[in-house]
Every structure is written in C-alpha cells, then in structure tokens.
C-alpha cells in the first residue's frame, strides 16, 4: 500500500505505475481516491472546528449558570446541541469515506523499482545470471515420483484416499532426505547470522490483509471455518505479522530471521504435466528468510538474500539461475522480485524453486511497523523475504541432479552429516 500523500502529490506517477503493471482497470481509482481524500479532509476540518467550538462554548454554560443567567445558558446549551447534532452527522461520513479510501488504497499496486523490466506476464521475465553448468547425463532421468518410488519413498495413492489430490506420504530415505535438506538450510542460514524462528502456523485476517494482496489471498489461503484464522501459505505471513503495531529502535535493525514452517496453499489454477507428483501441492515445508530494515538498506539486503539461496543450491551441486520478474508478474505489494530457478536435467530447462522479494514499506504501512530513528523521528520499516528451500519441490531438483547411472543418488558432502554419514542412497 502506497502513501496517500504520495498519491495526492504524484497522481500521474501512480497512474503510470498502474499502466506498467498492465492493470488499466484500476486507473479510475486514482481519481476516485483523490476526490475522496479532498472530501475527507474537508469533512475532518469541519468536524475538528466544531469540536473545538463545542469545547469553548461548553465552558460558558457553567459560568453563565453561576451568574444566574439561566436563559443565556439555555441558549448556549441549544447551540452545543446543534453542534453535537452536526458532529453526529459528520462522524459516520468520516468513517465511511475513510473505509472507502483504505479499500481503494489496498488494491492500488505499490510503486515498482525503476530497474524492473516491463512486461505483462512471466513470459517477459529476464534471466540475470546462471550459476553452475547445467548437465544432461547420457542416461534417462525418470520423473521425480518414479525416482522416489525406487526407494519406496513416496505414497500418493494412500494420501489421495486420506486427504485428496495434492497430498503425499514421504517414507524412509526420501523422508529423511527431505528433513535433512531443511535441517541443513536452517544451519546454513544460522551460520550467515540469521536468527532461527518457528512461528505460528495460523494467523488472523488483519495479518493476512497486512502481508498480501486480495488476489493472492483468494488464490492461496485456507480459512478455518468459524474462526478468524487462516492457515499460512508461507512463514513470511506470520513472521512479518510478529511486528504488527510495533515501534522499533533503529539501532537494533536489521532484524534478520530464518523461519521454518509447514505451508498450506489452495494452488488454484495449477495444471499441466509438470503439476503432477509433488511439484504443486497443497501442503509442503519451507525454510524462509525475513528481513526488517531501514529503507536505505533494503536493496542491499535484497541482493544478499537471493545470493544466499544461490549459494545454498550450489553447495548441493545443483545448477541454478536468477530470473528478474517483470512488472506484470509482480504481486501488487512488491517493489522488486526475482526467482531462483534450478536446473532440471529431465526437462532440460530450469524451474522455480524460490522467490526473493523487496516489498518496500507496503507491508509496514498496512501493519504499522515503525522505526524510531536516532533523531527521534519515526518512519516505516522496509520488509523483505526469500525462500531458502521449499521441499519437496526442492527434492525434484536434488534427485534429478544427483541421480547416478546405476540408479543411486549421490549425497553431497555438506548434507552427509544430516543423513547419518551416507554418501549415497541405493534403491
């Protein structure tokens, strides 16, 4: 959510930003909110003047009564009653206008960074850099669930009976590998100075609307029936929510946190052959990075965060690339975002395994996350998030890139302590 003062002073820039995001249907909202903002300020000014006048006039009543001027006091009382009646008319109007302004401001997209490439959808995302040499072995790479089945490591049929499509059982060495990757990712981030956190896995609706846009919420979140609770789609939701309504000392920033959680997603619109198996599922686990920092530091942290993911995947001998998300592919709260994609030797192409985002002060404005500077002035923090690893999707990249011709799976050296010292998995 952008600052209404910025919109008031720069309506053309806000409209141009909307065009860059190919959301022209939202253009009339800018003029509407400007008109409402003007009306709101006039209404508030009138109400404030009346309240001030009421306070002054009310003081006269006691004095007049004390002087025995009952008739004059009654006239003043009538004047106060008229003022109260007018304030009673204005207050609901103030609230109604304020609600509509907030409703509009929640759907006007955040201002994107000037470096973001312009395009309508993810087909216009731009490759930034490749890390590691993508290899296609001279033997066939089976589909990832087939690899897992060789190790008796997955049961999707039973999961379908228990919970439906989009769920799975992981078993034996594959389940252990899943946990090993998460444990390694946790320690990898701790070694880089991040504080490990296990957050709540459910959040209230005011936190949901604070951390994400309505289209994202509708496509992702599961609502707990009969309660004001939603299952988190990623730990970013509850991690950023932790700072709701806080005033943070500037000297304590940045907060650098790495969080583990299960994640629950509707995954509306998932389709295609690559949606089979554990590529797009309703439940998975994830290690995340969260940063709360000063505005001037957010782009530096943005670059640090995606590099952490690249370094982790490369330590597991998985080639990756970074992809700059274009304007039309950015969620409305994001200033800038890039995907980290892992190489799939079976598909002979890269696929997404993580996403790094700088949200500027959008989440902080919605959740009132403020910072108190050394000079005593208060301002909004910037928030960022990035995926460390999200198995079991990450397992697809791991298994394909470490599969050997004899059907075994090589365990990279850094992961062996988490796998009981094993250097490979054998079917």
Query: d(Cα 299, Cα 315) in Å, to the nearest integer?
Result: 25
3-state helix, strand, coil in the chain (%, to 5): 50, 20, 30
The answer to whether residue 212 is domain-embedded is: yes
Cα angle at 387 between 109 and 309, to 5 degrees? 120
In the prediction, which pLDDT does 273 show?
40
Tell me: do 244 and 373 sit in the same domain: yes
The answer to whether residue 117 is domain-embedded is: no
Q: What is the secondary structure of 9-74 as a DSSP string? A: H-HHHHHHHHHHTT-GGGHHHHHHHHHHHHHHHHHHHHHHHHHHHHHHHHHHHHHHHHTT-HHHHH
Tell me: do 84 and 143 sit in the same domain: no
Query: d(Cα 399, Cα 395) in Å, to the nearest integer?
Result: 6
The answer to whether residue 233 is domain-embedded is: yes
The answer to whether residue 112 is domain-embedded is: no
What are the residue ranges in the chain where pLDDT is below 50? 270-274
The answer to whether residue 254 is domain-embedded is: yes
Query: d(Cα 116, Cα 110) in Å, to the nearest integer?
Result: 13
Query: Considering 105, 138, 159, which residue would you say is the last residue of a domain?
Result: 105
Instruction: Map residue 261 onto helix, strand or coil.
Output: strand
Question: Which CATH number goes with the domain that contains 85?
Answer: 1.10.287.40
Question: Which CATH number goes with the domain that contains 355?
Answer: 3.30.930.10
H or E segment and range at residue 182: helix 172-191
Number of other residues whose CB lies within 10 A of the CB of residue 273 = 9
Structural domain of 47 = 4-105
Match 């309508």 to its residue by tokens: 120
Tell me: do 98 and 185 sit in the same domain: no
H or E segment and range at residue 300: helix 298-315
Query: d(Cα 101, Cα 370) in Å, to the nearest integer?
Result: 22
Tell me: do 346 and 395 sit in the same domain: yes
Match 């604070």 to its residue by tokens: 210
Tell me: do 333 and 245 sit in the same domain: yes
Tell me: do 90 and 131 sit in the same domain: no
The answer to whether residue 174 is domain-embedded is: yes
Number of structural domains the chain divides into: 2
Tell me: do 150 and 99 sit in the same domain: no
Number of other residues whose CB lies within 10 A of the CB of residue 100 = 14
The answer to whether residue 292 is domain-embedded is: yes
| 13: Cα within 13 Å, side-chain hemisphere | 14
**Closest C-alpha among 86, 64, 21, 40 to residue 330:** 21
**Closest C-alpha among 118, 170, 98, 134 to residue 345:** 134
pLDDT tens digits, residue range 219-238?
A: 889 999 999 999 999 999 99
Query: Considering 58, 74, 105, which residue would you say is the last residue of a domain?
Result: 105
Report phi then psi at 299, rounded to 5: -70, -35
Tell me: do 71 and 128 sit in the same domain: no
In the prediction, which pLDDT does 275 show?
57
In the prediction, which pLDDT does 271 show?
47
Beta strands in 304-394 (DSSP E): 320-324, 336-344, 349-358, 369-372, 378-380, 382-389
Tell me: do 237 and 329 sit in the same domain: yes
pLDDT tens digits, residue range 260-280?
A: 999 999 875 544 444 568 888
User: pTM surpassing 0.85?
Assistant: yes
Tell me: do 206 and 278 sit in the same domain: yes
In the prediction, which pLDDT does 54 show?
85
In the prediction, which pLDDT does 214 show?
73
Q: Token pair for residue 390?
A: 């999200």
Q: Are 182 and 386 in contact (CB under 8 A)?
A: no
List helix spans (H) across 214-270.
214-220, 235-241
Tell me: do 94 and 170 sit in the same domain: no
């Amino acid at each position: 959510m952008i600052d209404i003062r910025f919109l008031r002073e720069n309506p053309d820039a806000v409209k141009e930003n909307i065009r860059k995001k190919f959301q022209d249907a939202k253009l009339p909202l800018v003029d509407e909110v400007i008109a409402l903002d003007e009306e709101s300020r006039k209404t508030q000014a009138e109400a404030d003047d009346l309240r001030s006048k009421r306070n002054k006039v009310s003081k006269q009543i006691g004095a007049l009564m004390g002087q025995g001027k009952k008739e004059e006091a009654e006239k003043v009382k009538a004047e106060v009653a008229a003022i109260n009646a007018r304030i009673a008319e204005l207050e609901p109007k103030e609230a109604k206008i304020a609600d509509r302004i907030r409703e509009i401001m929640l759907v006007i997209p955040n201002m994107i960074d000037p470096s973001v490439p312009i395009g309508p959808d993810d087909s216009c995302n731009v490759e930034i850099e490749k890390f590691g040499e993508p290899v296609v072995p001279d033997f066939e790479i089976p589909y990832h669930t087939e690899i897992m089945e060789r190790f008796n490591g997955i049961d999707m049929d039973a999961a379908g009976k228990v919970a439906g499509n989009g769920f799975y059982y992981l078993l034996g060495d594959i389940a252990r590998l899943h946990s090993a990757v998460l444990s390694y990712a946790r320690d990898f981030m701790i070694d880089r100075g991040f504080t490990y956190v296990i957050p709540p896995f459910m959040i209230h609706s005011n936190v949901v609307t604070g951390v994400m846009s309505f289209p994202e919420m509708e496509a992702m979140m599961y609502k707990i029936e009969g309660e004001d609770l939603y299952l988190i789609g990623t730990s970013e939701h509850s991690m950023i929510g932790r700072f709701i309504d806080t005033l943070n000392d500037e000297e304590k920033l940045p907060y650098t946190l790495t969080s583990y959680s299960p994640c629950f997603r509707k995954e509306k619109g998932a389709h295609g052959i690559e949606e089979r198996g554990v590529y797009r599922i309703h439940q998975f686990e994830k290690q995340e990075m969260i940063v709360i920092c000063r505005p001037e530091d957010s782009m530096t942290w943005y670059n640090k965060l995606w590099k952490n993911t690249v370094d982790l995947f490369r330590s597991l001998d998985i080639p990756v690339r970074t992809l700059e998300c274009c304007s039309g592919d950015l969620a409305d709260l994001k200033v800038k975002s890039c995907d980290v994609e892992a190489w799939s030797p079976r598909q002979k192409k890269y696929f997404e395994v993580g996403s790094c985002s700088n949200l500027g002060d959008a989440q902080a404005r919605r959740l009132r996350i403020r910072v108190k500077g050394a000079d005593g002035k208060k301002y909004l923090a910037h928030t960022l998030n990035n995926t460390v690893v999200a198995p079991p999707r990450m397992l697809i990249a791991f298994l394909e890139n470490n599969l050997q011709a004899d059907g075994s799976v090589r365990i990279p050296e850094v992961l062996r302590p988490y796998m009981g010292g094993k250097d490979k998995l054998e079917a």
